[in-house]
């Protein structure tokens, strides 16, 4: 994909080997863009670096709308975990539609363009498609409320995923490979077992059914050898989960050291 971004400064430098390397900067004297040129990652990094500049290019286009949204309370007040998902969606939206003028967004026919993009993603990742569309809807609602566009083209868009998490459920075979690895078998390559902290996290999630944010907060003091006590962040409910023999065996063999929480990395 050939993309000409406004203000990108290109510098050729001769290396010690004699080869010529080309470096790209968000603007002359600005930070370097490390992503490969003419890729969506390059576009995303460019807009991330230029978002706080007062003289941001692409005024009157979707890139400006996104900049205003990201700097607004509507985005700033989101929970960190929610922002992570939004940021992924925003990078994808910017890479695809950054130079779309506000008048084009408001025009009839734009809804079909956005939905076609959504459907292309949904062909392989329906939940991701719904996330991207939901974030784009919120951004455009923000723009419409502030009269940056005259029409919201994405009102009342139905989801394409079925609302279940079937695509995220691990099979017994996948769990076994994570824990114990796999020997090479025909076309299947050998796979090493996952590091112990990863296996511990997987099994804790499997046997408790709790959300990631709640799992990360569980302390060793909440484990009495038979059950785990925790408070769910989303509902505020206090939950006591009986520990299975399989999970108990894993937890009881962990070298805790000075760790406070059950889930840690190799450095503690």
For the chain, give every domain's residue range: 58-169, 171-252
In the prediction, which pLDDT does 3 show? 64
Give the architecture-level CATH label for domain 171-252.
Orthogonal Bundle (1.10)
pLDDT of residue 169: 64
CATH of domain 58-169: 1.10.150
Largest pairwise CA distance in the chain: 66
Render pLDDT for 123-182 as a digit per residue (tens, 0 to 9). 988 889 999 999 999 999 999 999 999 999 999 898 988 765 555 567 778 888 888 998
**Does the reported pTM lie above 0.75?**
no
* Average pLDDT for 53-82: 85
* Separation between Cα atoms, residue 177 and residue 189, nearest integer Å: 12
In this prediction, residue 31 has a pLDDT band, given cuts at 50, 70 and 90, of confident
- Residue 12: the pLDDT is 87
pLDDT (mean) for 52-76 = 84
């Amino acid at each position: 994909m050939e993309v000409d971004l406004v203000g990108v400064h290109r510098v050729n430098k001769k290396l010690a080997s004699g080869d010529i390397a080309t470096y790209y900067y968000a603007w002359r004297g600005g930070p370097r863009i490390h992503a490969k040129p003419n890729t969506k990652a390059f576009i995303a990094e460019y807009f991330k670096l230029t978002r706080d500049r007062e003289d941001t290019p692409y005024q009157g286009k979707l890139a400006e709308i996104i900049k205003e949204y990201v700097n607004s309370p509507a985005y700033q007040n989101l929970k960190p975990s929610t922002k992570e998902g939004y940021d992924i969606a925003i990078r994808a939206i910017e890479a695809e539609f950054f130079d779309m003028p506000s008048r084009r967004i408001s025009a009839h026919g734009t809804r079909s363009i956005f939905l076609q993009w959504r459907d292309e993603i949904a062909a392989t990742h329906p939940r991701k498609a719904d996330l991207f569309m939901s974030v784009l809807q919120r951004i455009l609602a923000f723009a419409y409320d502030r009269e940056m566009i005259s029409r919201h083209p994405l009102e009342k868009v139905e989801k394409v995923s079925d609302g279940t998490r079937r695509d995220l459920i691990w099979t017994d075979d996948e769990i076994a490979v994570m824990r114990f690895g796999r020997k090479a078998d025909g076309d299947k390559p050998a796979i090493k077992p996952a590091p112990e902290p990863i296996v511990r996290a997987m099994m804790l999630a499997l046997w408790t059914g709790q959300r990631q944010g709640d799992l990360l907060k569980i302390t060793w003091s909440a484990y009495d050898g038979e059950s785990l006590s925790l408070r769910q962040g989303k509902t505020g409910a206090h939950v006591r989960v009986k520990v299975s023999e399989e999970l108990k065996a894993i937890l009881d063999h962990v070298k805790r050291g000075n760790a406070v929480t059950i889930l840690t990395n190799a450095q503690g």
